[in-house]
Amino acid sequence: MAAPSYTTDLSVISQADEASGTWAEPTATGWGQIGSTAFQETDFPLQGATTLYCMSGTVKTGVGGLLADAGAGGITIPTDGAVLIWIWLSVPGLLDASDSIRAVIGSGLADFYWTAPLVKADYTYGGWRNIACADPSAISMTSQGSPTSTRRYFGWCFAVTFSGTLKGNPYGVDVIRYGRCEARMSGGEAANYATFAGFAAANDATSARWGLIQAVSGGYLWKGLITLGYSSAVDFRDSNALIFIDYTPKVTSNFNKIEIRQAGSRVDWTGITFLCNSPSTTASKGSLEVVDDCDVNIENCTFVDMATFIFKATSAVLNSVFRRCGQITANDASFAGTNFDSSSVAADSSALVWDVNTDPSSDLSGCNFVKGTNAHHAIEFGTTSPTSMTLTNVTFSGFNASNGQNDSTLHIKRTTGTVTITISGGSTPTYKSDGATVVIVTSSRTIKAIVQEADGTKISSARVLLKTAEDATGGFPYDDTVTIVNSGTTATVTHNSHGMLTNDKVVISGASLNPNNGVFTITRIDDNSYSYTMGSAPGSSPTGTIKCSFVFLEGTTDGSGEISMSRAIGAEQDVIGWARKSSSSPYFKEGPISGTVVTTGNTTLTAILSPDE
């Protein structure tokens, strides 16, 4: 890639460099207490493209300020965008307690909308601050006079209470811009990756002062839309940074957002903390969406008091923390070791949504879920999630101990069929189902076969096969009809609602091509398919009535005459099979094995063989 590029979509309404003509006081009744005409200020300007100026004025009691004229045609503020205004007041102690700093957007000097992005308590120490205000059609604003839909005049006004006129010019306003307020980043290369510091350096240049990502004490202050991968791919790698999400009470909820785009992009964050300022009063808490399936690696990061997150399959969010955040849509991303602490989702919603047909065993391994204030679930398994899955070392705290509640641990959205969830370590969850039968399997069971002679002498190296003997609700397949497509030595099986996992074994029979028949270890593809590897390539796909049954045991006995496996068992199931030893002396005749595999404990079955020599 090339060197990183840092740009924005912002357009200028006024640079606040004008000597006269563009700026004026509002003329509505009770407004206009600026004390004099606009003054081209050189003592405390913030921004300047070629020369440093801002606009200033004296202050009298009441409401005063300056508005910039964007021209007779006005401008259009984009959806989820805003006007950004740099403000200054050196006498913050004189501000009224409420509605003291007012953003103004209007069609005329007496006809406008206004709202208060900041009040006295937010502006204790004064100084240059950048305020954001959305279009009046997008947020609630107070109308003054009879404003039309034309957006022509923009600025900020103060409301102060004191007696007399202050000396000097304590009121200031600098560059005013508008747009989606997008921080656009692309490019990045070894030893020169795109970073927060890189954008902040461009943002904070005297000729810029965009107000999007600015360096502040201890980290960076962000507002607007961050697009990582604007127009072309980005290689963004950063670590150990603190990002404050700016207080923006007068924008739309989607205003503060991060979008990661372009399939060729790579984003690596390690030890990054995002912290929303004033989450209970800001209009936009900040969200994140991985739009394209690119390489996203987030590790040991913390997200506090933010809104929603959407990831993709190639996203990895490892050993991180989401604290008091909104809903997280996984889309097969990996969250191993991540803590979902006190989600802010509404009642009967879920902190994490898993709605892909992939077993979450490894992707959610070691995660921890702590219930928030509302009566919500930890995980929602959607209608396309697996019908058989495993939760590995996942812990849950604070959720309802009863099933069927709005704050039961899991929410199963399937309305029909059976969903089997195996718990391998961690906590045993409760659940609410939208209609499907839910089977929670809490621990693995051992299934063992012992092969011996009539006098009890154990037989080693005996071959054993033990498979299902009949169907069982919530159990494993028995004599199910399947179809198979071959490609080389790989056989792909279509087997609806098979309920099996990778490394399970099956016995296939009835295929017209012999290499397809036998006992095989499968690789799960989804709820309705899996694959296995044959010993040779048949060259075509099999026909015939092909049957499949689950295999509990297949192999040879050890020196103690035993063979066993451990597996979570969702239902009691009758089994049948055989044991024999015909490959080496001493030889034994084949003997039957049968019984029932149980869910309440381990199962041990015995085969008695007779000598055959």
pLDDT along the chain (613 residues), means of 10: 95 86 89 75 89 88 92 97 97 91 97 97 94 98 97 96 76 96 97 97 97 97 98 98 98 98 98 96 97 98 98 98 98 97 98 96 96 97 94 95 96 94 90 93 87 95 96 89 97 93 94 97 92 97 97 96 89 94 93 92 94 87
Quickly tell me which residue has 């004189």 as its tokens.
94
pLDDT value at residue 20? 60
pLDDT value at residue 162? 77
Sequence spans of domains, the chain: 9-178, 181-441, 444-608
Task: Tell me yes or no: is domain 444-608 CATH 2.60.40.1120.
Answer: yes
Task: Report the candidate in 100, 68, 106, 63 with the shortest Cα–Cα distance to residue 85.
Answer: 68
Q: Please name the residues in contact with 165: beta carbons below 8 A apart, sequence gap of 6 or more.
A: 35, 58, 59, 60
**Rounded distance, CA 542 to CA 482, Å?**
11
Which two tokens mark 131?
Answer: 């305020």
pLDDT value at residue 402? 94
Helix (H, G, I), strand (E, B) or coil at 484: strand
Q: What's 9-178's CATH class?
A: mainly beta
Which two tokens mark 81?
Answer: 């965008």
DSSP 406-436: TTBSEEE---SSEEEEEEEEEPPP-EEESSS
E-strand ranges in 79-124 read: 82-89, 101-106, 112-118
What are the residues facing 431 on neighbouring strands? 410
pLDDT value at residue 3? 96
**Rounded distance, CA 160 to CA 179, Å?**
30
**Rounded distance, CA 394 to CA 397, Å?**
10
Q: What are phi and psi of 203, to 5 degrees?
A: -60, -40
pLDDT value at residue 50? 78
Is 388 in contact with 358 (CB distance < 8 Å)? no
